[in-house]
Structure 1
Amino acid sequence: MTIEAVLFDADGVIQLPTVDWQAALESSVPAGRPAGEFVLDLMASEAPSVAGKADFREAVAEVLARWNVTTPLEQVLGLWQRFEADPDAIALVQELRATGVGCHLATNQQAYRRAIMNDQRNYGAWFDRSFYSCDLGVAKPDPAYFKTIVAAIDLPPTAVLFVDDNQANVDGAREAGLHAEQFHLSSGLPELRELLQSYGLLS
């Protein structure tokens, strides 16, 4: 079946961090405490808010208190703002949209970061529709995430291609019946173009 829509992940596919966030987080940990475990604790605390089931700001505050971190909450949260969209990736999305193929953002984000992407930086202007996990109430790689999206865009899964840098998410999309491929910006945009061409998209 012809591909009628492409779902693009955000982090690693159309945007990248502008700071070594892990090193920045680890530098906040009091001396003598395992900084790596602190970062893992923060990442785990984020998961419920990514699925829209908790408040991210409150979760981070609880972790900072648990680890006796004195870095101000707003300073830590600021690390989640340190990212930029790749202009060439966005240009490629616009090129694909111009051919009539639906291009949608499909990303795992908590509401704090969704507000930055969607409200402050107007990511929605680059896509036909945007699907944030915190709004859907389910996150990748759960196949239900993808089933919710294909129902919303009213297409059969076999008419949709999903592109993500995380193999687990690719596997989840395939389980839901979508075509799915792994790609990271570090591979270069020519590889993404070739990937799209392999599905009969772009020239």
Structure 2
Amino acid sequence: MINTIIFDLGNVLINWEPKILYNKIFGSEEKANHFLENICTLAWNEEQDAGRSLEAGTKALIERYPHHKEEISAYYDRWEEMLNGPIEGTVDIFKKLKATGKYKFYALTNWSAELFPIALREFDFLNWFDGIVVSGDEGIRKPEAAFFQILFDRYQVKPEDAVFIDDNLRNVEAARKLGIESIRFTSAEELEKALQDLEVL
């Protein structure tokens, strides 16, 4: 019986989009896309999510692409400009679930330990969770099974009693392998339907 809901945060409850910043910097969506696909990539950012310091990550990339020093530095210097508010529909679903009094709520997020305090300051609904596990604090990230295990052990969560929600298919598939009922987030409307189908909402 499901008694636990585990949320990813970025692009499930919180809009995070590097292109918002780099469209401003380059004045061209094409140039912004090229930069984010080839230089400040998601894979590079995930190294910081897994515990590497922002300073070390930035330095390593500037050494490879010195002619892009200013644009690379902007990634974390102006990181808050990538945040585009809450995803209201998902926050509303979270509120409805919370109001039932039936579930425990946890967040399992790939997020730099240095940056996560900004999110805590900006988004009050993060206080609704019974616990949050941040990859940057743990030195490991999704989709690693050991990262999920940290949450299971810390909060006595049984995988078979939980639902996991994440926008990244890689992470959803990893969770399913661990026996967690998992939903790939595409929109609040689709999430609500999936939760209703599971008789969670």
| 8 Å contact from structure 1 (residues 57, 112) kept in 2 | no
Residue of structure 2 equivalent to 1:181: 183
Residue of structure 2 equivalent to 1:197: 196
Cα displacement (A) at 1:116: 1.3
| 8 Å contact from structure 1 (residues 49, 56) kept in 2 | yes
Task: Go from structure 1 to structure 2 and tell me whether the alpha carbon gap of 1:123 and 1:132 turns closer, same or farther (over 3 Å shift).
Answer: farther
Task: Go from structure 1 to structure 2 and tell me whether the alpha carbon gap of 1:49 and 1:193 turns closer, same or farther (over 3 Å shift).
Answer: same
User: Which whole-Å CA distance do the structure 2 matches of 1:80 and 1:50 have between them?
Assistant: 14
- Does residue 105 in structure 1 map to residue 107 in structure 2? yes
Give ranges in structure 2 of 5+ residues lacking alignment: none
1:132-172, CA deviations, whole angstroms, 9 ceiling, x for partnerless residues? 11122321111111122122221211001101111110111
User: Which whole-Å CA distance do the structure 1 matches of 2:154 and 2:179 have between them?
Assistant: 15
Identify which of 130, 142, 145 aligns with 1:143.
Answer: 145
> Aligned ranges for residues 14-163 of structure 1 at < 5 Å?
14-17=13-16, 20-21=19-20, 23-24=22-23, 27=26, 35=35, 36-40=37-41, 43-52=42-51, 54-68=52-66, 69-71=68-70, 75-81=74-80, 82-83=82-83, 84-100=85-101, 101-163=103-165
| 8 Å contact from structure 1 (residues 164, 183) kept in 2 | yes
Secondary structure at 2:12 match in 1: coil
Task: Go from structure 1 to structure 2 and tell me whether the alpha carbon gap of 1:94 and 1:145 turns closer, same or farther (over 3 Å shift).
Answer: same
CA RMSD of aligned residues (A): 2.7
Task: Go from structure 1 to structure 2 and tell me whether the alpha carbon gap of 1:124 and 1:99 turns closer, same or farther (over 3 Å shift).
Answer: same
Q: Number of residue pairs matched?
A: 191
Structure 2 length-normalised TM: 0.81
Structure 1 length-normalised TM: 0.81
| 8 Å contact from structure 2 (residues 47, 57) kept in 1 | no
| 8 Å contact from structure 2 (residues 40, 72) kept in 1 | no
User: Which whole-Å CA distance do the structure 2 matches of 1:3 and 1:38 have between them?
Assistant: 42
- Pick the structure with more helix per residue: 2
Secondary structure at 1:112 match in 2: coil
